[in-house]
Amino acid sequence: MSGILEGKRVLITGVLMESSIAFHTAKLAQEQGAEIILTAFPRPTLTERIARKLPKPAKVIELDVTNDEHLGRLADVVGEELGGLDGVVHSIGFAPQDALGGNFLNTPFESVATAMHVSAFSLKSLTMACLPLMQNGGSVVGLTFDAQYAWPQYDWMGPAKAALEATSRYMARDLGKQNIRCNLISAGPIGSMAAKSIPGFGELASVWDSRAPLEWDLKDPEPAGRGVVALLSDWFPKTTGEIIHVDGGLHAIGA
């Protein structure tokens, strides 16, 4: 029996650790029949090492999503490897340390601008760089952390994620005519490298212990990865501009 991504070609960003959602997305995508290519920055060698743990070999290319030169050559590099693309996974987020950990009111604009550029604007930049390879339509899937709320310690990553969510909706509007779907997975907290960079992450994650209807495991990125793979597949052919929560149901609970 073939997988739900049989014959699909997918570019996946953000594979930094085996514990990341991006790694599990890559693993599941291969298991479901996809050919994948990975991007990495600033240390492609780290991603190459992690990629050896995937079921099949996967090429890793260097990509800084804030670098116009990198973005400009992306389509040629990926095209030579895969011929085209059917899916793009945006798993990129970064904020300087002074934009996190309770420093919201004192963060300088330069740090806010960096968070917005890397975490939100890059969804548009990455998609447009890949657009020449998506001649038959496809699916763009990003990862967010529910931007409806102000979370402890999360500070300017919250507005950055809100911008990411709005960007995805506008992309869904403008790319629908090319049969390209743009959706996000809103995942619960995972003990990834990105999470470890947030001061006080434990305080934020502890909310899930008391409020999530379904038991949530910080060490299990696979449910979120399954959500990404489902949105990459043809099983959501008319879903775009959507945010699917894979958070144990916490988003539905008031207190």
Q: What is the pLDDT of residues 63-72, one digit of tens each?
A: 999 999 999 9
DSSP 86: S
Distance CA 176, CA 110 (A): 34
Q: What is the 8-class DSSP label of residue 100? A: S
Cβ pair 14, 22 in contact under 8 A: yes
Give catalytic status of residue 154 as yes or no. yes
Angle of the 157-175 helix axis to the 109-116 helix axis, nearest 10 = 40
What pTM does this model have?
A: 0.95
Among candidate residues 161, 170, 219, 238, the one labeled active-site is 161
- Positive or negative: CA dihedral 65, 70, 76, 80: negative
Catalytic residue, chosen from 59, 154, 177, 219, is: 154
**Annotated binding-site residue? 190:** yes
Q: Give per-residue burial for 156-192: e unless 16+ CB within 10 Å, then b.
A: bbbbbbebbbebbbebbeebeeeebbbbbbbbbbbbb
What top-level class would CATH report for the domain 9-247? alpha beta
pLDDT digits (tens, 9 = 90+) for 183-231: 999 999 997 656 666 777 777 788 898 899 999 999 999 999 999 999 9
Is 65 marked as a binding-site residue? yes
Residue-averaged pLDDT of the chain:
95
| Residue 232 confidence (pLDDT) | 98
Mean per-residue pLDDT for 33-59? 96
- 21 annotated as a binding-site residue: yes
Q: Catalytic annotation on 27?
A: no
95 is in an annotated binding site: yes
Say which amino acid occupies 156: W
Pick from 240, 87, 98: nearest CA to 157? 98
Q: Is 146 left (phi over 0), alpha (psi -120 to 50) or beta?
A: beta
Give the span between the Cα atoms of 81 and 155, in whole angstroms. Answer: 39
Sorted by where each begins, the domain ranges of the chain are: 9-247
Sheet bearing 243-246, strands edge to edge: 59-62, 35-40, 9-12, 87-90, 138-144, 180-187, 243-246
Query: Which of 79, 59, 20 has its CA nearest to residue 218?
Result: 20
In the predicted model, is pLDDT for residue 238 greater than 80?
yes
Q: Is residue 191 part of an annotated ligand binding site?
A: yes
Q: How many CB atoms within 10 Å of residue 42?
A: 7
For residue 181, the cross-strand partners are: 139
64 labelled ligand-binding: yes
